[in-house]
Amino acid sequence: MGAIQIFTQLFQKADQIGKYLLLYVMDDFIFNSRDRDGYGYPELFWPVLESNILFEFTDISDVGRLVGGFLCRTGGVQVTRSYLIHTLLSDDKTKHTNAFMGFYATGHTLESLRIVVKVAPKPNESNAQLFVLIYRDAYVFFATHKDLKLTNDDKAVFTAFFTLGLSSPNSFVIDSCQEALAVLGEMTI
Q: Collapse the DSSP code of 50 into the 3-class scheme (helix H, G, I; strand E, B; otherwise coil) and give the result.
A: helix
Q: What is the pLDDT of residues 9-68, one digit of tens each?
A: 888 888 888 998 999 999 999 988 888 888 888 999 999 998 888 998 877 667 777 888
Q: CA angle at residue 127 from 123 to 133, to 5 degrees?
A: 90
pTM of the prediction? 0.67
How many whole angstroms separate alpha carbon 156 and alpha carbon 133?
Answer: 21
Within a 10 A sphere around the Cβ of 11, how many other Cβ atoms?
Answer: 19
The predicted model gives 163-181 an average pLDDT of 92
In a domain, 66, yes or no: yes
**pLDDT for 61:** 67
Residues spanned by the domain of 87? 1-107
Considering the chain, what percentage of its residues have pLDDT values greater than 70? 97
Number of domains in the chain: 2
Out of 53, 75, 107, a domain closes at: 107
The alpha carbon of residue 43 and the mean position of all alpha carbons in its chain are separated, in whole angstroms, by 21
User: Is residue 179 scored above 90 in pLDDT?
Assistant: yes
Instruction: Tell me if residue 58 falls in helix, strand or coil.
Output: coil
Mean pLDDT of the chain: 86
If asked whether residues 102 and 127 sit together in one domain, one would say no
Rounded to 10 deg, the angle between the 152-165 and 110-119 helix axes is 50
